[in-house]
Structure 1
């Protein structure tokens, strides 16, 4: 599945962006008001050059006792920015986000212009229903029987175990 095929991609509100010279204080106000966990720092032509997350605020602002009113976003932003394209494979990026421990992925067009952002939460909403569906498909393909048989067998085992436990407790 491609990133652009996720309903979250087309339904997401506009990406919160700031220029690098803007103050951390301004960004924090807007992020707090809109309940955003990150803001993408862009060049004047809307190319992403960094990202500021709640973790950056904690590690590079608060921990270093910087003044948010005089500190520019460029001074605390993460510059090792990973960006994707809307046609990229969603599961590939979910794997990379998990392995590299980042939660926000700016999406750019073919010219490198910011068009959206996806969070790890957006991707995870995809994985659970898909994984359960694939588990059912794999079960049917592997055993060539209806998975409801496994449910019946599981219930039978549960009844036997419960009855055995009840007998032990009564002794």
Structure 2
């Protein structure tokens, strides 16, 4: 919680993640700081704010799941709470990772690849000329 905002944001990029889990001195989960927190709470506040600590801007006591919980639990919590990331903890409430919307989609795409991957070869290309009437 004493980590500066600029250092937490740097961790997003260095580790290709969208959140940082925050622990207390006993390594217990006490918060989560996400890219969404950056967008909602920091944009337009000036550069000086980046030297503040994440404690003021993180979500305190976030919902968490255990590694043994089914993926459906994560989807339910994400949908109900509007979350994109959910911490994963052990039985001592120590974070061991997190699950994200991206990781769930990747898991489902791997598991149900034949059913899900029916997209055109280049789904993000722009239509250059008009087709039809």
Equivalence for 1:112: 93
User: Which structure 2 residues correspond to residues 1-171 of structure 1 after superposition, within 5 A?
Assistant: 20-65=1-46, 67-128=48-109, 129-130=111-112
Pair 115,34 (structure 1): closer, same or farther in 2 beyond 3 Å: closer
Task: Answer whether contact 2:66 2:88 (CA < 8 A) is retained.
Answer: yes
Shift of 1:131: 9.3
Name structure 2 gaps, 5 residues minimum.
116-133
Query: Number of residues paired by the alignment?
Result: 114
- Work out which of the two has the higher radius of gyration on C-alpha atoms and give 1 or 2: 1
Cα drift, residue 64 of structure 1: 3.9
TM-score, normalised with respect to structure 1: 0.58
Is the 8 Å Cα contact of residues 11 and 20 (structure 2) preserved in structure 1? no
Aligned-residue RMSD, C-alpha: 2.2
What TM-score, normalized to structure 2? 0.73
